[in-house]
Structure 1
């Protein structure tokens, strides 16, 4: 099976941000994406209509950038789309927010979007698909050739705990505290073609693997492989899908900068003849669990002999190491904002702090997430 790869001549960038539509009276999710998107398309015209799309549930809208060169350009693109959507939503008594899971809404009350692809998914996956009331941020970074795709995918798996701990924003599920920093990651990986990527040696091995999955009826198209990190042949990118939904534009910028800097450095290392390291799968699996459970308080394995180190320290070192790359790519401000998140707290920490302040009333957590979305940065007063 031949799978063409649309090589990117530079380390281009694209971001997908899944937003929740929240009734401002009840704080519950509300299915209104069809009417909002229809009005959005008429307002922005054909060229920009594709920047906001349906997702599995009617209570979700995915905002998508065009192909961008820098993180600031991508954030401006997202911001422009959200400004239009916010006005359309507010006229209907709806607010926009993002978190890995909605703190109080239940999946069995949600309407599936009218789309044959989604109907097939629900028919095939049944209960697993109905539970997918989860929200994430996906970052695409351009790769120069298909030969580089899997060396970069494999090497990036070492950073799965960094991305997940930094973005963890789903401590609550169906109105209860799960005890996890990221329950979303555990819900999503229950799908048979989701979770950690297969460690494949090269593009040819990927083509043979996809052919096997399609021939056996496991999937219909390669779009149904939802790995935490995967190549996207049509876009010529590596797509990082590991992150929970991020409540603020600042946090989206932080993970986008980290993504672009890591892939750019790996692109250059491959150009220079370096062999990128491939972590052992069991180490990656254990580290993903630790980040999902403990978030920024996780102690992650840094080798296959059991040596551990705080993920906070690992993140701080990665930021320092990548700063020259970030300056060259024009995203130093966004990369160093990771330190702000380490100081203020990740979203799961802020959500729990909001719940404590309200005596366990999770509707107050929704209000906090709505406020953070509007101001574009973490609400530092939560942790004081």
Structure 2
């Protein structure tokens, strides 16, 4: 079976002059062709979502994601706006962003009130093909322990409403307020999983299967497993890395080999997620093998070694190893954002993320750099292995 990847990326709409989150997603979407569903609305009026095509090769995924970002940037820049891929926009104000005028979103806002009001956050979701729903559901237990390292690689939301939260991914803390967020439980198969979802709907906790917000879940409308734990990532290379790692995790978990039975001891998973959200790549993570704290690079490289045979089988090993080492050397996006804010100010930090979202190197020239609307993604920025594929 050829296992394909698709990605959904959420982006904040930013006012270029102030650097602040602004409820003008409609203005951006109005400049884009929407007949194919490539770009859609989200719950807050400050977020647009991009939906990639379905790909087998990582370089094709990179090209697709980069192209979508260029189109979004062109639509936004013509109106004094910019798009930012980050778990949370550093500069924002509660009450300034209403919900999108959609029956589903209106119902969610009425039911969940403050929880919905504060969803000024963005994630990156990766879809990977699975043979069938039964296989997907049974694979959850094998995948769950390795999701916190993926969160750490994506962590990009240290600031909330203009203040440093002390977390690498404050988006995670906001997201976990939903009643169905967090680690997925253990299920014997699709029938048991669907019964649990139906039970939640009957109780009125959620309105439909699309409101199952587990860190990984069987898609409600596609034959895929969907990764949902990650922050939106400023650098498109990070999204490609996460996609490669998640695909390998899914392929291994769905393999027909005799897997050890799940011990159903998942109480540590939420702790591991909190640890990843707290420190990203700059502190310890919980090692899934020992349930003990280890430096983040050790845990991430352990995951990489674990997945090497599958990555090699897909021709992804060299690229994934290169992107992993680059990510560890650069540090998390949260760390880069804090450093920019410390060396300059929060507006300069916003400029950094806007530049990274466009595929540019930040030039540290302050607000003038933010107004420069160059959107070219350069081929030389893609690792040689990806171009060769």
Establish whether TM, by shorter chain, passes 0.5.
yes
SS at match of 1:317: helix
Cα 1:306–1:254, aligned 2, differ >3 Å: closer, same or farther? closer
Which of 350, 362, 369 is the aligned partner of 1:366? 350
Partner residue, 2:43: 56
**Residue in 1 that maps onto 2:132:** 145
1:97-139 CA distance string (max 9 Å, x none): 1111111112321132121111111000001100000111001
**Residue among 311, 325, 349 paired with 2:296:** 311
Q: Distance in 1 between matches of 2:87 and 2:212?
A: 20
Q: 1:284 aligns with which of 266, 269, 272?
A: 269
Whether the 8 Å contact between 1:103 and 1:172 is mirrored in structure 2 is: yes
Q: How many residues align?
A: 364
Counterpart check, 1:73 vs 2:60: yes
1:102 equivalenced with 2:98 (yes/no): no
**Partner residue in 2 for 1:272:** 257
The residue aligned with 2:240 is 253
SS at match of 1:246: coil
CA contact (8 A) 2:282 2:331 kept: no
* Structure 2 partner of 1:35: 27
Tell me the distance in 1 between the aligned counterparts of 2:83 and 2:205: 35
Following the alignment from structure 2 to structure 1, what is the Cα–Cα distance between the partners of residues 191 and 317?
A: 36
The answer (yes or no) to whether the contact 1:157–1:279 under 8 Å persists in 2 is: no
Pairwise mapping of residues 226-245 of structure 1 onto structure 2 (< 5 A)? 226-245=213-232
What is the TM-score with the length of structure 1 in the denominator? 0.89
CA shift in 2, pair 1:129/1:334, >3 Å: farther
Please identify, of 53-62 and 322-331, the stretch whose mean Cα deviation from structure 2 is larger: 322-331
CA contact (8 A) 2:168 2:279 kept: yes
In 2, distance between residues paired with 1:309 and 1:148? 31
Matched, 1:345 2:337: no
Secondary structure of the corresponding residue to residue 31 of structure 2? helix
Contact 1:182 1:293 in 2 (8 A): yes
SS of the residue 2:101 aligns to: coil
Normalised TM-score (structure 2)? 0.88
Is 2:294 aligned against 1:302? no
Q: Deviations over 1:310-345 (max 9, x none)?
A: 231011122233234223324335422011010111
Equivalent residue, structure 2, for 1:126 = 113
Any conservation in 2 of the 1:196–1:229 contact (CA below 8 Å)?
A: yes
Please point out which of 331, 335, 340 is paired with 1:354: 340
Contact 2:151 2:277 in 1 (8 A): yes
Distance 1:185 1:333 in 2: 30
Q: Which residue of 1 aligns with 2:374?
A: none
Unaligned runs of 5+ in 2: 365-389
Secondary structure in structure 1 of the residue aligned to 2:10: strand
Q: Does 1:322 align with 2:314?
A: no
The offset of 1:199, in angstroms, is: 2.4
Structure 2 CA distance for partners of 1:11 and 1:111, relative to 1, 3 Å: same
Residue 199 to residue 376, structure 1, CA distance change in 2 (3 Å): farther
Alignment match of 1:190 (pick from 144, 166, 177)? 177
Query: Which residue pairs with 2:9 in the alignment?
Result: 17
Check whether the contact 1:196–1:285 (CA below 8 A) recurs between aligned residues.
yes
* Corresponding residue for residue 111 of structure 1: 98
CA contact (8 A) 1:155 1:276 kept: no
More displaced, 164-173 or 80-89? 80-89
